[in-house]
């Protein structure tokens, strides 16, 4: 392959030039390098096919002669399109083979030029072809992103009893236009539930718009929501529809609705009552057909009692309420969500990571996740990026999780719908408590035994039962020497 001169930017677009005439190859190489492209020159069809298959990324543009001693430009075109539909191919041909060039266009070539031609005109045509290639690549990326979102929307919210009940409620309310208030801690998945309601409704083909009420400047919030007329205020150089009218026929999620200022609460209440919006600077109200969903991590009842949130608006929003449980209260969902995130990020980052080790799953299950599902998602993205093997291990997790240094809040036992193996569950609880005691005491087993309210000999027995003895460094050898008999039944 041709060497890259120092003047070429490291991320320059790569162009493949294919022609058996050395003089023309050189002219085109110089022309395109001056345009800022990285040029790979091939003296014939075979060299071009090799370059197409060996280049790490598909070429955005290939310029190829149509007739060459060792093959044809049609072969180059076919191989390029098989590698990537985003590659654009410009065919260079003599007057006698114009019919063949037209055949190449029917096979997907971007255009053709007849020899002799102006290198500058060819460079201008190439720039348009590269622009088209970049648009195709971006469209492919967006389609993949939409497909991931659609797939995520179709996946079950969770298998824990609490999330199963929420899924059943979503199925009942999705076909209606009833207003829904989503509450729960930050990161519990309120937006995903809102999207699931929209996707399962008859509004699914219409827009789903999310408005973060806490991120909008108060001075612009009314304009963003309800629109404005041209000249309504300084800087309003054009008319704006506003998010409610842009989502007409669809769904609007007001995220962090508790952040709405009092003046906007009054206007939102009127929109809910009248199903009309008045743009800033407008003289008439405009009808809108929007289903409203609202979400907040605040205690709305307390906000109402303290006068920060209008009681009448609260009643309008709280027609149906869905309380999202924190992740720590969703037994069984942590490992399933973690596995889903691992698969997603492995595909996005192009890494061969397929799941989590048993130790990693146990550590995740023992962690309280103050940031809930959002924290787990970010944690898995980090773990996939750091992973050096096919599985996420303890070493890929943050220290607070891998070392169980975060103290889990007490969990209420909840019997799974399908039942459980009681001895296994009790054994796992015992194992976690032992690990936490050892972590808290710096590995000193006598101190850990005292924390757990058992004898030192009993702790040794339990360590051996759970195969933890080899993982614990003994800082209490004196106690070991005094009690050196083989561990028996716990005392």
CATH number at residue 471: 1.10.10.60
Among 305, 324, 343, the domain-final residue is 324
- Residue 486 pLDDT more than 60? no
pLDDT the model gives residue 472: 52
Residue owning tokens 């201008």: 124
One domain for residues 391 and 358: yes
φ, ψ of residue 308 in degrees (nearest 5): -90, -15
405, part of any domain:
no
One domain for residues 318 and 352: no
One domain for residues 349 and 242: no
- Residue 406 pLDDT more than 50? no
> For 338-364, how does the pLDDT look when each residue is reduced to its tens digit (9 = 90+)?
999 999 899 888 888 988 988 888 889
pLDDT the model gives residue 52: 92
One domain for residues 215 and 350: no
pLDDT the model gives residue 156: 58
> For 59-70, how does the pLDDT look when each residue is reduced to its tens digit (9 = 90+)?
999 999 998 999
> For 73-120, how does the pLDDT look when each residue is reduced to its tens digit (9 = 90+)?
999 999 998 888 889 999 998 866 677 777 888 888 888 888 888 888
- Residue 10 pLDDT more than 90? no
Q: At what angle do helices 119-154 and 190-199 cross, to 10 degrees?
A: 100
One domain for residues 191 and 309: yes
One domain for residues 298 and 333: no
342, part of any domain:
yes
- The residues that bridge with 211 in the sheet, in sequence order, are 254
* pLDDT bracket for residue 409 (50, 70, 90): very low
pLDDT the model gives residue 150: 53
> For 11-45, how does the pLDDT look when each residue is reduced to its tens digit (9 = 90+)?
568 899 999 999 999 999 999 998 889 999 999 99
- The residues that bridge with 288 in the sheet, in sequence order, are none
> For 359-378, how does the pLDDT look when each residue is reduced to its tens digit (9 = 90+)?
888 889 888 898 999 999 99
* pLDDT bracket for residue 134 (50, 70, 90): confident
Instruction: Report how far residue 376's alpha carbon sits from residue 169's, in angstroms, rounded to the nearest whole number.
Output: 25
Closest CA to 269 of 321, 229, 309: 309
* pLDDT bracket for residue 201 (50, 70, 90): very high
pLDDT the model gives residue 411: 46
Instruction: Report how far residue 401's alpha carbon sits from residue 365's, in angstroms, rounded to the nearest whole number.
Output: 9
Give me the CATH number covering residue 247.
Answer: 3.40.50.300
One domain for residues 43 and 179: no
- The residues that bridge with 355 in the sheet, in sequence order, are 391
One domain for residues 200 and 284: yes
- Residue 290 pLDDT more than 90? yes
pLDDT the model gives residue 367: 87
238, part of any domain:
yes
* pLDDT bracket for residue 432 (50, 70, 90): confident
Cis amide linkage into residue 69, ω under 30° from 0: no
One domain for residues 179 and 310: yes
What average pLDDT does the segment 380-400 reach? 88
- Residue 1 pLDDT more than 50? no
> For 394-403, how does the pLDDT look when each residue is reduced to its tens digit (9 = 90+)?
888 888 887 6
- Residue 151 pLDDT more than 70? no
* pLDDT bracket for residue 140 (50, 70, 90): confident
Among 93, 119, 139, the domain-final residue is 139
386, part of any domain:
yes
Is 27 in contact with 63 (CB distance < 8 Å)?
no
- By the 10 Å C-beta count (0-12 exposed, 13-18 middle, 19+ buried), 449 is classed as buried
Sheet holding 14-18, edge to edge: 38-42, 14-18, 61-65, 88-93, 111-114
43's tokens: 């003296």
334, part of any domain:
yes
4, part of any domain:
no
Residue owning tokens 């190859």: 25
One domain for residues 232 and 104: no
Give how many domains the chain has, as a whole number: 4
Instruction: Name the percent of the chain lying above pLDDT 70.
Output: 86
61-73 b/e with 16+ CB inside 10 Å = b? bbbbbbbbeebbb
One domain for residues 129 and 66: yes
- Residue 170 pLDDT more than 80? yes
* pLDDT bracket for residue 5 (50, 70, 90): very low
Question: What is the residue range of 386's domain?
Answer: 328-400
* pLDDT bracket for residue 464 (50, 70, 90): confident
pLDDT the model gives residue 154: 52
Among 324, 359, 382, the domain-final residue is 324
163, part of any domain:
no
Mean pLDDT of the chain, nearest integer: 83
φ, ψ of residue 388 in degrees (nearest 5): -110, 0
One domain for residues 462 and 345: no
294, part of any domain:
yes
């Amino acid at each position: 392959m041709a060497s890259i001169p120092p003047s070429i930017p490291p991320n320059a677009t790569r162009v493949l030039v294919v022609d058996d005439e050395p003089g023309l190859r050189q002219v085109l190489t110089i022309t395109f390098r001056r345009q800022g492209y990285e040029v790979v020159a091939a003296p014939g069809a075979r060299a071009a096919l090799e370059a197409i298959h060996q280049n790490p990324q598909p070429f955005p543009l290939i310029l190829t002669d149509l007739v060459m001693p060792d093959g044809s430009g049609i072969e180059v075109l076919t191989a390029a399109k098989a590698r990537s539909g985003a590659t654009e191919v410009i065919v260079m041909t003599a007057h006698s083979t114009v019919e063949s060039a037209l055949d190449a266009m029917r096979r997907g070539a971007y255009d053709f030029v007849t020899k002799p031609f102006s290198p500058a005109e060819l460079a201008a045509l190439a720039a348009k072809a590269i622009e088209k290639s970049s648009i195709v690549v971006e469209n492919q990326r967006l389609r993949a992103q939409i497909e991931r979102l659609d797939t995520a929307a179709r996946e079950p919210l969770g298998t824990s009893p609490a999330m199963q009940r929420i899924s059943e409620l979503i199925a009942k309310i999705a076909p209606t236009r009833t207003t829904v208030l989503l509450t729960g801690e930050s990161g519990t998945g309120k937006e995903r539930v809102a999207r699931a309601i929209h996707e399962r409704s008859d509004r699914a083909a219409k827009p789903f718009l999310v408005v973060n009420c806490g991120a909008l400047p108060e001075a612009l919030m009314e304009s963003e929501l309800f629109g404005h007329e041209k000249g309504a205020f300084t800087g309003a150089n054009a008319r704006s529809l506003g998010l409610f009218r842009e989502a007409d026929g669809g769904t609007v999620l007001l995220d962090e609705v508790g952040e709405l200022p009092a003046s906007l609460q009054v206007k939102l209440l009127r929109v809910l009552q009248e199903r009309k919006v008045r743009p800033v600077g407008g003289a008439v109200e405009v009808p809108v057909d929007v289903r409203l969903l609202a979400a907040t991590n605040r205690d709305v009842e307390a906000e109402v009692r303290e006068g920060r949130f209008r009681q009448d608006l609260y009643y309008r929003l709280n027609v149906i309420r869905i309380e999202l449980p924190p992740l720590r209260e969703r037994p069984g969902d942590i490992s399933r969500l973690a596995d889903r995130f691992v698969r997603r990020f492995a595909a996005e980052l192009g890494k061969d990571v397929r799941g989590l080790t048993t130790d990693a799953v146990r550590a995740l299950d023992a962690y309280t996740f103050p940031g809930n599902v959002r924290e787990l998602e970010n944690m898995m993205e980090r773990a996939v990026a750091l992973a050096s093997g096919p599985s996420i291990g303890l070493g890929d997790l943050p220290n607070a999780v891998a070392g169980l240094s975060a103290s889990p809040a007490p969990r209420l036992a909840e019997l799974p719908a399908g039942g459980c193996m009681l001895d296994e569950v009790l054994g796992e609880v015992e194992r976690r408590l032992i690990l936490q005691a050892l972590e808290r005491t710096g590995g000193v087993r006598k101190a850990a035994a005292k924390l757990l309210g058992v004898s030192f000999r009993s702790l040794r027995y339990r360590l051996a039962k759970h195969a933890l003895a080899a993982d614990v460094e003994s800082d209490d050898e004196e106690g070991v020497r005094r009690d050196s008999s083989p561990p028996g039944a716990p005392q």
